[in-house]
């Protein structure tokens, strides 16, 4: 009897898998081999990830529960069951996080003369400094709100810092409500550096919450403060814009952005000193249940500590600095167009510099022989040399077309601002296709040369964002291959114009061919395995959750295809199931850099087909986004992708995790005492030869 590939026990829950990924990130913060300021960063990254997790994923589940949805995912969990399991694991993860902060990281930082001074520890000089700071910087911008019929509970911004104050006594008007709310304006820093002479160490910090706690009584003259409790509410931040109904997507999105601050509450964080009565009161105000309450020992927003490693000049407590390398083909030639004409150029970020990508667009903007530039923009940052170059090109009269994805989550405002500036400069700005986010990473330059018009293309797995290019692992390819360039031109025509999807010769594109091509490549490996030939699949990406792809991989494993999956985050597939996934191994690597590149490798009878892509194997990437996967055709570059992008990650026994049959992750452990760290090896490989 053939196996039932729809059986729930063959799949893992997406949300629980996402929490498991954050547990692996937290393990980096727990690792004594990681420099302590980097450990603090990882701790903050977990908090930032959890914020988005609650704002989007938990918020979505709560909406389903609100409407009594009993529809389950492939794992068989209904929204209510999934939420119950999520709440249990999220509370455990947060407890583990704060225990590490208070018992591990903060004491270790204190040993290095980096101290966070608590109210109970202040000496007279420190108390005086805090008092002066409060009256000079804090009190003038505070607006305490006493709760009574004339002053209802205020609107609380998403993820803002607030204080609930319990009072006794009567004010000047004879009122005695007993409760007030103090909202901390976002203009106030949450972490404040104290002068070294006062702090008694080079780096001494106090929290805004401590400053306000110490002097909150100044806001309520003549009344007695019984308690002051910091709290923070997380809200549903998923934007809804009916793209088919609006006439101007940008205007509709601008109107919707402000609503993000006041969506339905999904989580309440309070300090551990919060009284049960006040916690219950706050829960009722936000219409939340007890399981939505997270009572923490410390700051209610650890993300604010992310700035501390930037302020502290202690290289010995951080990862060693590095200078990204350059391919030999670019090291001596300043003319990028000439270099790309000679051969395809592959860049592996951050081990190799992102500067050539910026220079490519800047040279195109300045070059009088360049006639047009077309580019997709998903995330690029508020300060971007690339966008400035495109504006310069448009002003100089070049034909500039930019496909700006306005619905890039949490980057909407920056993208709207760039779209406006580009339009003002004379560029053509389009927002892709209704109902499909444009996630593909492409630049197409047309240049007039002696032989006629020549196309140049850059295709990538990561965003055109110089800062993240130093933090994320990604690949980028420069090529003048005529058929690949023609494919890219056709994709741009689809994005800006109207008409049927044309046939692409080399690019796999969602939502049209990418899924079908991936499934066909998997089935091709199945055919090789059944014919007794070597069959191998290696896939590296951020997430694997799409059911048809998982079923095809299960079928391939049954046929004897050796499958290695390097999935950084969420993987819904279970490896090692007898007779179903016995030939599948799943690994996740969490290290100094965020693993972001997507690589699809199919042995194909020795041809070794290799595709790089912007797409994970998820429903949204395969069906609801414009994505491309592009082949690496040059044999030398193919070997590089395998050597740098795949094999080190299969060999890693330092930062890798292997999924077990139960869906848990375990460290593989080093053999014979030899530690191999993929990212460290790649940094060494990229160093320029002396």
Annotated active-site positions, please? 439
* CB contact at 8 A, 318 and 37: yes
Q: For residues 480 and 173, what is the distance between their CA atoms, to the nearest angstrom? A: 78
Q: For residues 466 and 357, what is the distance between their CA atoms, to the nearest angstrom? A: 9
Provide Rg for the chain, Cα atoms.
Answer: 27
Report residue 417 as tokens. 């601002």
Q: Other C-beta atoms within 10 Å of 133: how many?
A: 17
Q: Other C-beta atoms within 10 Å of 630: how many?
A: 29
Q: For residues 385 and 383, what is the distance between their CA atoms, to the nearest angstrom? A: 7
Distance separating the N- and C-terminal Cα atoms of the chain: 63
Provide, for the chain, the percentages of residues in helix, strand and coil under a 3-state DSSP scheme, each rounded to the nearest 5: 40, 25, 35
Tell me the pairing of strands 594-595 and 472-479. Answer: parallel
Q: How far is CA 422 from the centre of its chain?
A: 26
Bridge partner residues of 165 (DSSP): 180, 228
Q: Residue 535's closest CA among 488, 583, 575, 595?
A: 583
Q: Residue 574's closest CA among 664, 665, 661?
A: 661
The dihedral built from the CA positions of residue 113, 114, 116 and 117, taken in this order, carries a sign that is: positive
Query: Which residues, 6+ apart, have CB-to-CB distance to 169 below 8 Å?
Result: 176, 222, 223, 224
Q: Other C-beta atoms within 10 Å of 50: how many?
A: 23
Which element (helix H / strand E) includes 587?
strand 584-589
Q: Residue 514's closest CA among 430, 600, 585?
A: 600
Q: For residues 90 and 82, what is the distance between their CA atoms, to the nearest angstrom? A: 12
SS3 573: strand
Q: For residues 512 and 355, what is the distance between their CA atoms, to the nearest angstrom? A: 33
SS3 525: helix
The dihedral built from the CA positions of residue 311, 316, 318 and 321, taken in this order, carries a sign that is: positive
Tell me the pairing of strands 114-116 and 203-207. Answer: parallel
Q: Residue 651's closest CA among 585, 583, 562?
A: 585
Laid out side by side, the sheet with 265-271 consists of 145-146, 179-183, 162-168, 224-235, 265-271, 293-296
* CB contact at 8 A, 392 and 370: no
Q: For residues 687 and 690, what is the distance between their CA atoms, to the nearest angstrom? A: 9
CA dihedral 566, 567, 568, 574 (to 10 degrees): -120
Q: What angle do CA 450, 451, 454 make, to 5 degrees?
A: 100
Q: What angle do CA 471, 476, 480 make, to 5 degrees?
A: 160
Q: For residues 188 and 633, what is the distance between their CA atoms, to the nearest angstrom? A: 53
* CB contact at 8 A, 475 and 461: yes
């Amino acid at each position: 009897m053939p196996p039932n590939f729809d059986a729930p026990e063959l799949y893992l829950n997406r949300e629980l898998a996402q929490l498991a990924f954050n547990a692996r990130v937290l393990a980096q913060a727990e690792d004594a081999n990681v420099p302590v300021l980097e450990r603090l960063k990882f701790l903050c990254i977990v908090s930032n990830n959890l914020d988005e997790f609650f704002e989007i994923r938990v918020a979505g589940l709560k909406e389903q529960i609100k409407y009594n949805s009993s529809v389950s995912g492939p794992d068989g969990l209904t929204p209510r069951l999934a939420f119950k399991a999520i709440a249990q694991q999220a509370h455990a993860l947060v407890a583990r996080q704060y225990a590490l902060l208070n018992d591990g990281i903060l004491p270790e930082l204190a040993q290095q003369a980096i101290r966070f001074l608590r109210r109970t520890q202040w000496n007279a000089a420190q108390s005086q400094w805090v008092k002066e700071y409060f009256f000079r910087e804090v009190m003038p911008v505070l607006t305490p709100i006493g709760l009574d019929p004339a002053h209802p509970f205020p609107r609380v911004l998403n993820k803002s810092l607030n204080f609930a104050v319990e009072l006794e006594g009567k004010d000047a008007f004879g009122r005695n409500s007993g409760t007030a709310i103090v909202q901390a304006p976002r203009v106030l820093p949450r972490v404040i550096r104290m002068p070294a002479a006062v702090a008694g160490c080079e780096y001494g910090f106090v929290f805004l919450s401590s400053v306000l706690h110490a002097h909150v009584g100044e806001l309520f003259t003549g009344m007695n403060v019984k308690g002051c409790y910091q709290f923070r509410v997380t809200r549903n931040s998923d934007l809804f814009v009916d793209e088919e109904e609006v006439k101007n997507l940008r205007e509709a999105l601008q109107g919707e952005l402000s609503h993000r601050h006041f969506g339905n509450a999904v989580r309440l964080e309070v300090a551990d000193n919060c009284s049960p009565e006040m916690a219950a009161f706050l829960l009722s105000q936000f219409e939340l249940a007890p399981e939505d309450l997270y009572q923490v020992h410390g700051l209610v927003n650890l993300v604010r500590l992310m700035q501390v490693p930037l302020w502290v000049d202690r290289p010995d407590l951080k990862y060693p600095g590095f200078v990204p390398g350059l391919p030999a083909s670019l090291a001596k030639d300043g003319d990028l167009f000439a270099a790309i004409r000679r051969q395809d150029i592959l860049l592996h970020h951050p081990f190799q510099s992102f500067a050539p990508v910026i220079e490519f667009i800047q040279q195109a903007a300045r070059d009088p022989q360049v006639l047009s530039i077309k580019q997709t923009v998903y995330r690029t940052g508020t300060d971007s040399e690339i966008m400035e170059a495109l504006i310069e090109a448009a002003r100089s009269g070049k034909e500039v077309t930019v496909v700006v994805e306005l619905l890039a989550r949490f980057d909407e405002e920056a993208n709207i601002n760039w779209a406006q500036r580009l339009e003002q400069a004379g560029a053509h700005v389009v927002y892709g296709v209704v109902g499909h986010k444009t996630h593909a990473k492409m630049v197409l330059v047309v240049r007039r040369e002696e032989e006629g018009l020549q196309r140049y293309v850059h295709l990538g797995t990561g965003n055109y964002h110089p800062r993240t290019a130093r933090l994320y692992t990604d690949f980028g390819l420069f090529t003048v291959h005529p058929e690949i360039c023609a494919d890219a031109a056709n994709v741009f025509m689809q994005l800006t114009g109207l008409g049927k999807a044309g046939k692409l010769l080399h690019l796999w594109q969602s939502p049209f061919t990418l899924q079908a091509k991936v499934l066909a490549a998997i089935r091709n490996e199945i055919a090789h395995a059944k014919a007794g030939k070597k069959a191998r699949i290696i896939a590296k990406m951020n997430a694997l959750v799409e059911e048809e792809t998982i079923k095809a991989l299960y079928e391939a494993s049954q046929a004897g295809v050796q499958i290695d999956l390097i999935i950084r985050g969420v993987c819904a597939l279970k490896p090692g199931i007898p007779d179903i996934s016995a030939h599948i191994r799943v690994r996740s690597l969490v290290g100094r850099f965020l693993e972001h590149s997507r690589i699809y490798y199919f042995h194909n009878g020795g041809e070794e087909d290799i595709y790089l892509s912007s797409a994970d194997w998820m429903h949204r990437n395969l069906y609801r986004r414009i994505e491309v996967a592009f082949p690496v055709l040059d044999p030398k570059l193919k070997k590089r992708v395998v050597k740098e992008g795949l094999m080190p990650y299969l060999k890693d026994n330092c930062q890798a995790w292997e999924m077990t049959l139960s869906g848990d992750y375990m460290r593989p452990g080093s053999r014979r005492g030899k530690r191999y760290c993929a990212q460290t090896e790649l940094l060494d490989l990229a160093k320029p030869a002396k």
